Every structure is written in C-alpha cells, then in structure tokens.
Structure 1
Amino acid sequence: MNTKTTELQSEIKAHWEKQILPFWSNLKDTTDGGFYGWVGNDLQVNQQAPKGGIATARQLWTFAAAYRVTGNERWRDHAEHAYRFLADHVMDTDYGGMYWMVDYTGEALDTSKHVYTQSFGVYSLSEYYRATEDASALELAKTLFALIEDKGLDAELPAYKEQFDRTWKEQPNEMLSENGVIADYTMNTHIHVLEAYTTLYRVWPDQQVKAALERLLGILYERVYDQDTKFLGVFFNKQWESIIDLRSFGHDIEASWLIDEALKVLGMEQHLEYAAMVTDIAYNISNVAVNADGSLLNEQEGDHIDEKRIWWVQAEAMVGFYNAYQRTGDPLFLERVERLWTYTKENIIDQRAGGEWYWSVDGNGIPDQSEIAGPWKCPYHNSRFCIELIERMGSE
C-alpha cells in the first residue's frame, strides 16, 4: 500500500471501531432481545418501536462480520444476541420464513414475507456461521435458501418473485416498489439474493447454490443490465419489461462489486461478458453520477435527477469504486474513493456526541430530519464499507 492508502485504511478502521460499532452496540435490548428499533434525528431512542426483519438480519450480519474481522468477543456476544432474536422471534415456525416486522417484544406485527427479507436471513446466518461455526445457523440459512428456491423462484422465466402473505400466497409488491409503480420484479431483490447466495456458497459450496448463483448472474446480465447504456433497470413487469425510466446510481455501483464477489467465489473472474459488465457499470457511474464535490447522486427518473446524497449510496460507491480499482488498476477509481471518503467525513458522518451517519444531506450538505436508526437505517452498509476496504487494502 502507498502512504495515502495506508492512512485511508487507518482512518476508516478507527471510525468503524470508535463510532459506528459503538453506536449500534448501545442499542442492544437486554430486556426484550434484539436491538432497539428506532433512533430519531434528535438521537432519542424509542425502546418500544417495532423491530424490522431486515434490520435484525443486518444487525446480525454486522456483528458477526465484526467478530470475524477483529476477533473481539464483544462483537461475538452481540452477534449471538441478534441471532437468538432472529431465530426465536423473526422466524415464522408455522409457515416458514422471516416476518417483515415484529413488535419490540418480538411478537409478530406484519407477517408479510418478502424474498428480499429472506435473502438477508441467508446472508446474515451464513456470515454468522462463517464467524462462529455455529452449525444451527448454517442449517437455518439452508432452510431459507430452500424456501426462496421453492416459493420465490419462477424457474420458467427465470425470475425471483417479491412479496407474499404469511402463508406464501403471492401479493402485489408494495414493500419494494417506489416512484409510483408496483413492480413484479426488481433489480434490488435480485442483487441481494445474489449477495446472500455468494456468502452461503463460501461456507456451503453445494451444487444447488452454485446453480442458483449462475442463474442469477445470467438474469442480471440478460434481463436487468442494458449493454448499450451500461445501466441496470430497476422495476419490471412479469415479462421482464422495464416499467419506468429510472436509473439508481447507488444500486448500480453496489451491484457491480456484488456481481464481482459472486464471480470470485465461483472462480469465474475472467468470464468475459460478466467481467466487462462489472467494470463498465463502474466507469458509467463514475462518468455520470459523481458530483464536483466528490459525492454520488441518488437516482435519475426521466430528466429529473435526485441530488440527495444518501448515506448508503456513498458507502456502496466507495466499495464499488475500490473494487473497480482492483479490477482495472485505473487510478481514477482510487481518486473517486478518496474524494468520497473526504465528502462523507465532512457531510454524512454525524459529528454530534452519540451520532452515527445521517440518512442524507442536500446539495449544500444540510442533513434531512430522517431517523438515524430504523427498519431500513441499519449498520450494514457503512459497516460493510469499512470492512471491505480494511480487508481489501490489508491484502495488498
């Protein structure tokens, strides 16, 4: 590593260990289990807020990965705490799968099942097993994998479906549709099923998982990725037709490195079309979505560009650009990471005592009033950015 990269790695590691992990650690609910479900913009904790299925899985992933990377037993304890809540309260023992939402005591609140939620179950349980070798977690991950493949996969198209009721009857996809449309299939769900199966395959290199990963790569390349524009489509109907002119810059750069991780675990790094997709997406987002201040824009619908700088978009862009730097050796991408980190330090990281990262800021760097922790605002994106760059830079 050069001096600048060494300093960057050191800064990121210190921020992760001294601000991000302690913030989420302080939300540990020792009375009812799991972690408190809401912290307002005023940094006040609502101890009786509902606890999301996705948030619980992401908390489990974060602390499991933190234990794996640092060896700190404190994070193992937090991971085990999250695992017990997920296994005992978020899992539906009657119909299978993870609930969308439980109340603060762990009672089912919204029993909807979403493939996206199940994928985060697979992801986090696989990471927990990877860190602790707890065989029960791997068995639960295998169960969720089988459920996704059985209930969530339309094998003829192929495509992964989205939303179901508690008994696994398909429902309109209200949970993961935005921008005034209801999508039958989403890019978002497909990249996160890919992410989940990649981690599962690391710890359980089964032929079923391999086949599913290969299928997902084919879907993303043939159905979701536009080889002409180098963008990913976002929302689709049942014929795999795009139903809105929408470009999600953050999801695109996130997808680029998630796809690359899948290629690595499959030993397919040199697959010509897929490798080109990884780098072409990164160059495209670098060209069209980076602001003069180094930050990444959110999305573009038609001619309208959403200029909010959202916390997870900046985090995923840093990983995606660094992955592209490793792929290509192009110093442009390293410069992108350095400037993004500077922007994030100056605008996204909450400097208040007890703060974490703001949800978003506007073009002038003024934070919005959204929650600091909630069903979607979790430690996963920014912790993962820290872990990825710590590990990637440390291996060079």
Structure 2
Amino acid sequence: MVLMDETAHRKWLDDEFRRLAHFGVASVDPRGGFGWLLDDGTRDESRPVELWISCRMTHVYALAELAGIDGAGALVEHGLAAIEGPLRDAEHGGWFSSIDVGPVNDRKEAYAHAFVILATSSAVAAGHPRAEALLREAITVHSEHFWDETEGMARESFTRDWSAEEPYRGVNANMHTLEAYLAAADVLVDRSLLVRAMRIVTRVVDVLGRGNDWRLPEHFTATWEPLLDYNADARAHPFRPFGATIGHGLEWSRLTLQTERSLLLAGLAAPEWMSEAAGSLYARAVGDGWAVDGADGFVYTVDWNGVPVVRERMHWVDAEAIGAAAVLFRRTGDERYERDYAAWWAYAREYLIDEQQGSWWHELDASNRPSHVVWEGKPDLYHAMQATLFPRLPLAPALAVSLATRHS
C-alpha cells in the first residue's frame, strides 16, 4: 500500500496543516504584515516586521484559504496591505527588508523579494484582486534590478536607492527566485519566467552540484567565483552558513523535479539529466546529513568532505526531506523514497512537532532537545505547512494553483 495515498495519512496531513495555520494567527502585527513568534506562540514585539516572514505568511495563508480554512482570506488581505503599504518603498521602488514604524533595514534583498513574488502569486491564485498588480510590480522590480540576463542568475542585494550593489552572489537567494518564478509563471502563464527558472536550475544543479560531488557551494564573488571558506568564523549563520547546507540539497532536489514538470506542462523541453540529478542531490544530502553523529535527525551543515560542522537539527531540513522524498517517489515510483518519507515523518512526529505549545520546534540540538543556537522561536510556518501538501498534490503546477484547480 502506498503510504502517501492512505486515507488515514492524508487526513492526518490535513489536520496538521490546519493546526499549523491556527498557530500562526497570533503573528498578525499591527505595524503591518506578520511578526516573529516565540516558542509559546506569542509575538515577539521587540523584533521588527521582516519582509520575508510577512511574505511567507501571506503565501501560507493563501494556501490555507484555498484549502477552505475560515478566516484565512482576511489574513492574506492583511499581508497584501503590508506589501502594498508600509513594506513597500514608494520612493525608490522595491520593498524594505524590515520595518518598525518606518524602515529598520532598508536594503533591497533578492531573497526577500523572491517571497514578494511567491506571496502575490499565491494570492492571485486565491482570487485576491489587488494581488496581480503587486505581482507584476514585483516581477518588474526583480527584472530591472536583480535578474542578471548574462549570468542567468539573480544578484544578491542593493542599497535602498539601488546605487550600490553587494559584491556577493548567493545560491540561497537564487533557489527562492527559482521557486518564485515557477509560481508566477503558473498564474501569469508566462513562459519567459520558466526559461529563467531553467537557467537557474541548470547552473546550480547541473554545473555547480554535479561539479562538486553534489555538495552545493553556496557563496560566491560578484563574478561567480566560489568562496568555499565563506563564514568559516560564523559557521551557524541562519542564512549564509559555512560549508554545504544539507537542507538546500534536499530543497534543490525537489525544485529540480518541479521545474522539470513545469517545463513539460508548458510544452517546453526538459533536459534528461534532471531526474538523475535530483536523485543524486537527495542521496548526497541524506548520506552526509542523516544520523551521522549517533542520533537521528539531519545535521545543519557539513564541510566539503562531508564532515558535520553544525550539528543542530533544523525543522525546515526535515520538512524539505519530506517534500523531496514525496516528489522523488511520485516521479520515479522507487519504494526507497516511500520508506524514507515515512522515516522523515516519524522523526518529525517524535521530536519536532510541539503538541503542547503548537507548531514545530525550529531547532533541536544533537541530542534532539530544543535548542536556540541558530534560530529563536517559531517564526516560520512555510516549510512545515508545505511538507503537508507536497505528498497530496502534483509536482506542478505550483501549490496554490494546484489547490485552486483541485477546488474549482
């Protein structure tokens, strides 16, 4: 029997999706958008409103609305109002990285701007009239400032007025740009965004991943020279850690197969290497990351020989392992992915899911006890909520469009 198609399991996935959505309601911030939640589910009022969190929460509540959760549509509107209002830079264009009563971090970051595209794409799929104009604006901003047509990759960040560019390139920002382009291509029926997505995944996976034994380099100079020692003195950085990030290998594995399917649905050619490469990325991440230090769980990072560096277990890594195993099983039918899928959920249920306070513990130590070395609190529903959807929806179109189609 196929676990992902079992009625009881699918019911549990839906219940977990709804439980998570309920937890996040407390993140609504009167300053606009969504705030940072603590372990107990209360909002940390000392932190600014982050663009990336507000957009992720807008995205997940669009998914919740499409899944029929009462009140979710109002939360999407709250998120859109912040994207349209206080988070938006009406003077120079684009969006602030964080705000309080005004900008706290006024840099323009590709990572966060990718989530503006994702959030507004999902809101379009959920039927919010104001979202399409915001989505088109976000794509215009991204095209004018972040997208590098020569390299086929996204630039990293700029000062508020776009006059000075950060001399750094990052694979993480490009990973979420890829995700955002796939979502926007679906709601706008725009093949040019699929072409960009294909260029990103080709360079990162088929060139960088394949050329580095499937351990993805993350950090580069402005001319795309690898910086393999980047942040060697800040190894547990939440966004730019030293070494290879296990969760990103898993995430790229999933995104590679989703890109392949999106291309085919659009009538475009998909390279033959994509399925093989997705499997190789997954195998390397699992081999390097899972239970390599005497306890279950995925370590956060490894060095370029596969030796663990940061041993804390991040909730998002297990969530991405679930998603990758689910799509690999659907793509290949190989039962080892179904066995892995069951194992990754068993780990989440035993260690990560916090039944008392809600949501998932965002970080555990090497003994699987709650930890706060890299992350404080529980600010992010995005990975966990999506992990409950990937097993139940097709590889493409994007989650919001798939849900809208299912319920239409």
Indicate the TM-score class for this superposition, using the shorter chain for normalisation.
0.7 to 0.9
When residues 359 and 64 of structure 1 are mapped into structure 2, their CA distance, relative to the original with a 3 A threshold, is same
1:298-309 counterparts in 2 under 5 A? 298-302=300-304, 303-309=307-313
**Aligned match for 1:359, one of 358, 362, 386:** 362
Change (3 A) 1:28 1:218: same
* 1:275 partner letter: S
1:2/1:336 CA distance change after superposition, 3 Å: closer
- 2:264 pairs with 1:278: no
The separation in 1 between residues aligned to 2:271 and 2:77, in whole angstroms, is 38
RMSD: 2.4
CA distance in 2 between counterparts of 1:73 and 1:356 reads 19
Q: Deviations over 1:116-159 (max 9, x none)?
A: 11111001100110111x34312211221122121112332343
Measured in 2, the distance between the counterparts of 1:239 and 1:222 equals 19
Match of 1:95 among 92, 99, 118: 92
Secondary structure at the aligned position of 1:276 is classed as helix
CA displacement at 1:216 relative to structure 2:
1.9
- Does residue 390 of structure 2 align to residue 388 of structure 1? yes
In 2, Cα distance between equivalents of 1:208 and 1:3? 37
Matched, 1:172 2:166: yes
User: Counterparts of 1:325 and 1:256 in 2: how far apart (Å)?
Assistant: 12
How far apart in 2 are the matches of 1:224 and 1:146?
Answer: 28
Aligned match of 1:241 = 225
Q: Could you give the per-residue CA deviations for residues 327-384 of structure 1, whole angstroms, max 9, x where no partner exists? A: 22111111111111111111111232x33211211222110144223xxx31111111
> What secondary structure, in the 3-state scheme, does the structure 1 residue paired with 2:309 have?
strand
Q: How far, CA to CA, are the matches of 1:390 and 1:294 in structure 2?
A: 26
Provide the residue aligned with 2:50 in structure 1. 52
The counterpart of 2:107, out of the listed 112, 122, 131, is: 112
Per the alignment, residue 153 of structure 1 pairs with 147
Structure 1 stretches of at least 4 aligned residues deviating more than 6 Å after TM superposition: none
Partner of 1:127: 122
Q: Are the counterparts in 2 of residues 123 and 199 from structure 1 also a CA contact under 8 Å?
A: yes
**CA offsets per residue over residues 88-120 of structure 1, 9 Å max, x none?**
1111111111110011x4x22211100111111
Preserved CA contact (<8 Å) 2:32 2:86: no
Cα deviation, residue 81, structure 1: 1.4
* Cα drift, residue 80 of structure 1: 1.2
Match of 2:329 among 318, 325, 328: 325
Moved more, 4-13 or 92-101: 4-13
Structure 2 residue aligned with 1:62: 60
CA offset at residue 82 of structure 1? 1.2
Please state how far the C-alpha of 1:228 moved relative to its aligned partner. Answer: 5.7
- Does 2:381 correspond to 1:379? yes
Paired residues of 2:32 and 2:49 also in contact (CA < 8 A): no
Find the counterpart in structure 2 of residue 264 from structure 1.
261
> 1:199 Cα deviation (Å)?
0.2
What SS does the aligned partner of 2:380 have?
coil
* d(CA) in 1 for partners of 2:345, 2:200: 31
- Structure 2 residue corresponding to 1:194, chosen from 154, 161, 178: 178
The 2-side partners of 1:64 and 1:315 are apart by 19
TM-score (norm 1): 0.87
Using the TM superposition, give the Cα deviation of residue 319 of structure 1 relative to its aligned residue in structure 2, in angstroms: 0.1
- Matched residues, number: 374
The Cα shift of 1:273 comes to: 1.7
Is 1:254–1:317's contact at 8 Å kept on the other side of the alignment?
yes
CA deviations 1:174-221 (Å, max 9, x no partner) are xxxxxxxxxx21111111100000000001122432332232233224
Say which SS state the counterpart of residue 38 (structure 1) adopts. coil
One-letter code of the match for 1:229? D
What residue identity is the alignment partner of 2:363? S
Partner of 2:209: 225
Q: Secondary structure of 1:11's match?
A: helix
Q: Is the 8 A contact 2:179 2:255 kept in 1?
A: yes
Shift of 1:324: 1.1
Query: Could you say which residue in structure 2 is the equivalent of 1:74?
Result: 71
Residue number in structure 2 paired with 1:180: none
Q: Deviations over 1:287-309 (max 9, x none)?
A: 33222765322110244432211
Is the alpha carbon distance of 1:165 and 1:333 closer, same or farther for their aligned partners in structure 2, counting shifts above 3 Å? same
User: 2:328 aligned with 1:344, yes or no?
Assistant: no
The CA distance in 2 between the partners of 1:206 and 1:355, in whole Å, is 39
Partner of 1:288: 288
Q: CA separation in 2, counterparts of 1:196 and 1:372?
A: 26
Q: Name 1:85's counterpart in structure 2.
A: 82
Q: Write the distance in 2 (CA, Å) between the matches of 1:79 and 1:32.
A: 15
Mean CA deviation greater in 315-324 or 266-275: 266-275
> Does residue 138 of structure 2 align to residue 141 of structure 1?
no
Separation (CA, whole Å) in 1 of partners of 2:253 and 2:2: 25
Work out whether residues 24 and 41 of structure 2, in 8 Å CA contact, stay in contact via their aligned partners in 1: no
Preserved contact between residue 356 and residue 372 of structure 1 (Cα < 8 Å)? no
1:270 and 1:207 map into 2 onto residues whose CA distance is: 13
Contact kept, 8 Å, 2:325 with 2:340, in 1: the verdict is yes
Q: 1:52 Cα deviation (Å)?
A: 0.2
Superposed displacement of residue 269, structure 1:
7.7
Aligned equivalent of 1:178? none
Aligned to 1:176: none
Cα distance between partner residues in 1 of 2:42 and 2:4? 37
Residue 352 of structure 2 aligns with an amino acid whose one-letter code is I
2:188 is aligned to: 204
